[in-house]
């Protein structure tokens, strides 16, 4: 019942990878050309908290700054994070380009491990304009070429679950992101010195649920692979028909969203649509520029195509960023809980991850996760039934990753790095016959990222 046309095109991967590298290169070159054409009439702004290339911005007010600090939807990394971007004014619009791409070779051990060459990537354009004295308006577009650069609708990721490929649940693999990861509009209005109103509408976007999703999270910048807790913590970052209203007062921000609760289907090139049948609410606390903490709850109406029931998702997270020469030391601690209204089951995912820059060109990174997996045998009813009647249906998996990236200053506005990471797992004895005693996985990758050179 599914579309087989896009299947098994060996060239698609190479073309996609080259295309994504080309896009980043092209954007950087175009911007550099503009840089050199000079734009001396732009006034520098006084924005102490953010270490960003501010000199190129046109006409910003408090509301503009408020919008600019958001990474995905209305979610923010700590304000002190020097968000990698290239900033250019186009007329009276301040425009930001962000993007990164990984070319990854994965090798995994054990009977269920896989090997693959693929690319994870995204590219984002935000353009902002002030509206009157105290308001600002932003248009956001984010694209990913993963539907082409991840062939066969998945890449190997041991113990990963969530979404579908060829009509079956994806197990031990991660789905690609949609081509249109986000397309939305934001408006912010400073109501007073300490109070800002935010409105967000996105046919495709990120509702107020969870921390900043891993592809955009400061602490996850040197890890190409998804978190195993993605579908417990931040998988709603690509949702449809999203509307959010929020109010920020001093160090606190409260938000509420309505959205279509179904996960993206496996056809990644199109835009999915559906009724606004789910809701979420999120409370942020920003003690200072180095910290961002959130607590959020959402009700998702029938999110999983092949599984009955609705979900209540609860998440809490703390992110810390300390700017250092050449980057920032960023760490996140995240919890996500999932309650299924049909099975009445409660499962949890915990993530601790960090990235530390050393002497500008070296990055040490790590991620530790504990997550309760209940879909590992979703496509194998005999094994699933056997395990369920002897051991239960939920298995707590531990995943422990260490990684390193070395940056090479090849291009002016593109950070180019080569890296590797290694993951070891802990798993219950009951499932060792299927995964092996000590499954491991490794990635070797090239990473490119847009960033204005400071
Ligand atoms: Cu995702």
Query: Would you say residue 1 lies in a domain?
Result: no
Full domain range(s) for residue 145: 10-450
CATH number at residue 379: 2.40.160.10
* pTM of the full structure: 0.86
* pLDDT tier at 350, thresholds 50, 70, 90: very high
- Give the mean model confidence (pLDDT) for residues 429-442: 96
d(CA 160, CA 38): 49
Query: Would you say residue 156 lies in a domain?
Result: yes
Of residues 228, 213, 156, the one with CA closest to residue 396? 228
Q: Check whether 156 has a pLDDT greater than 90.
A: yes
Do residues 208 and 232 touch, judged by C-beta distance below 8 A? no
How many domains does the chain contain in total?
A: 1
Q: Which residues pair with 351 in a beta bridge?
A: 334, 369
Residue 254 Cα to ligand 1 midpoint, Å, equals 23
Q: Give percent of the chain with pLDDT exceeding 90.
A: 73
Residue with tokens 């239960």: 392
Over residues 245-284, the pLDDT tens digits come to 999 999 999 999 999 998 888 888 988 889 999 999 999 9
Residue 371 Cα to ligand 1 midpoint, Å, equals 17
Query: Would you say residue 27 lies in a domain?
Result: yes
Residue 182 Cα to ligand 1 midpoint, Å, equals 12
Res 14: pLDDT: 44
- Give the mean model confidence (pLDDT) for residues 306-333: 93
Token pair of 162 as six digits: 């969530």
- Give the mean model confidence (pLDDT) for residues 299-311: 90
Classify residue 71 as left (phi > 0), alpha (psi -120 to 50) or beta.
Answer: alpha
Backbone dihedral angles phi then psi of residue 123, each to the nearest 5 degrees: -140, 130
Do residues 98 and 124 touch, judged by C-beta distance below 8 A? yes
Query: Would you say residue 444 lies in a domain?
Result: yes
Residue 154 Cα to ligand 1 midpoint, Å, equals 12
Query: Would you say residue 2 lies in a domain?
Result: no
Res 58: pLDDT: 65
Res 208: pLDDT: 97
Residue 52 Cα to ligand 1 midpoint, Å, equals 26
Res 56: pLDDT: 56
d(CA 257, CA 246): 9
Report for 296-305, 313-322, 374-383: range of highest mean pLDDT: 313-322
What rounded mean pLDDT belongs to the chain? 87
Residue 302 Cα to ligand 1 midpoint, Å, equals 18
- Give the mean model confidence (pLDDT) for residues 201-218: 97
Report for 28-32, 36-40, 45-49, 305-309: range of highest mean pLDDT: 305-309
Do residues 144 and 123 touch, judged by C-beta distance below 8 A? yes
Q: Is 211 helix (H, G, I), strand (E, B) or coil?
A: coil
Query: Would you say residue 385 lies in a domain?
Result: yes
Query: Would you say residue 4 lies in a domain?
Result: no
d(CA 403, CA 396): 23
Residue 170 Cα to ligand 1 midpoint, Å, equals 14
Res 317: pLDDT: 98
d(CA 164, CA 154): 9
Query: Would you say residue 47 lies in a domain?
Result: yes
Res 164: pLDDT: 87
10 Å CB burial of residue 433 (0-12, 13-18, 19+) is exposed
């Amino acid at each position: 019942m599914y579309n087989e046309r896009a299947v098994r095109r060996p060239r698609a991967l190479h073309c996609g990878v080259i295309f994504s590298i080309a896009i980043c290169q092209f954007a950087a070159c175009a911007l550099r050309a503009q840089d050199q054409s000079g734009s001396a009439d732009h006034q520098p702004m006084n924005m102490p908290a953010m270490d960003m290339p501010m000199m190129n911005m046109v006409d910003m007010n408090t509301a503009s700054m408020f919008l600019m600090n958001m990474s995905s939807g209305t979610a923010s990394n700590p304000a002190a994070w020097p968000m990698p971007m290239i900033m250019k004014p186009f007329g009276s619009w301040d425009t930001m380009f962000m993007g990164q791409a990984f070319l990854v070779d994965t090798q995994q051990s054990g009977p269920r491990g896989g090997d693959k060459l693929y690319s994870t990537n995204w590219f984002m354009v935000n353009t902002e304009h002030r509206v009157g004295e105290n308001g600002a308006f932003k248009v956001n577009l984010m694209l990913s070429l993963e539907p082409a650069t991840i062939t066969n609708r998945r890449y190997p990721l041991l113990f990963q679950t969530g979404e579908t490929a060829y009509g079956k649940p994806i197990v031990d693999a991660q789905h690609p992101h949609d081509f249109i990861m986000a397309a939305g509009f934001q408006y912010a209005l400073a109501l007073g010195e300490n109070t800002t109103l935010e409105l967000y509408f996105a046919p495709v976007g990120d509702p107020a649920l969870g921390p900043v999703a891993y592809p955009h999270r400061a602490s996850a910048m040197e890890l190409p692979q998804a978190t195993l807790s993605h579908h417990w913590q931040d998988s709603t970052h690509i949702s449809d028909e999203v509307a959010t209203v929020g109010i920020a007062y001093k160090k606190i921000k409260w938000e509420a969203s309505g959205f279509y609760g179904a996960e993206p289907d496996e056809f990644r090139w199109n835009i999915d649509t559906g009724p606004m049948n789910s809701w979420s609410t999120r409370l942020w606390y920003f003690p200072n520029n180095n910290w961002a903490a959130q607590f959020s709850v959402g009700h998702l109406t029938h999110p999983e195509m092949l599984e009955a029931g609705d979900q209540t998702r609860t998440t809490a997270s703390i992110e810390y960023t300390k700017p250092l020469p050449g980057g920032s030391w960023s760490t996140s601690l995240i919890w996500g809980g999932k309650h299924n209204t049909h099975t009445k089951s409660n499962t949890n995912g915990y993530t601790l991850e960090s990235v530390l820059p050393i002497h500008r060109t070296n990055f040490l990174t790590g991620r530790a996760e504990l997550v309760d997996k209940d879909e590992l045998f979703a496509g194998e009813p005999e094994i699933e039934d056997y395990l369920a009647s002897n051991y239960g249906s939920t298995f707590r998996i531990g995943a422990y990753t260490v990684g390193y990236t070395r940056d090479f200053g090849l291009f002016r506005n593109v950070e180019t790095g080569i890296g590797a990471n290694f993951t070891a797992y802990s798993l219950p004895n009951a499932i060792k016959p299927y995964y092996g005693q000590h499954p491991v996985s490794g990635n070797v990758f090239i990473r490119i990222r847009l960033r204005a050179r400071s």
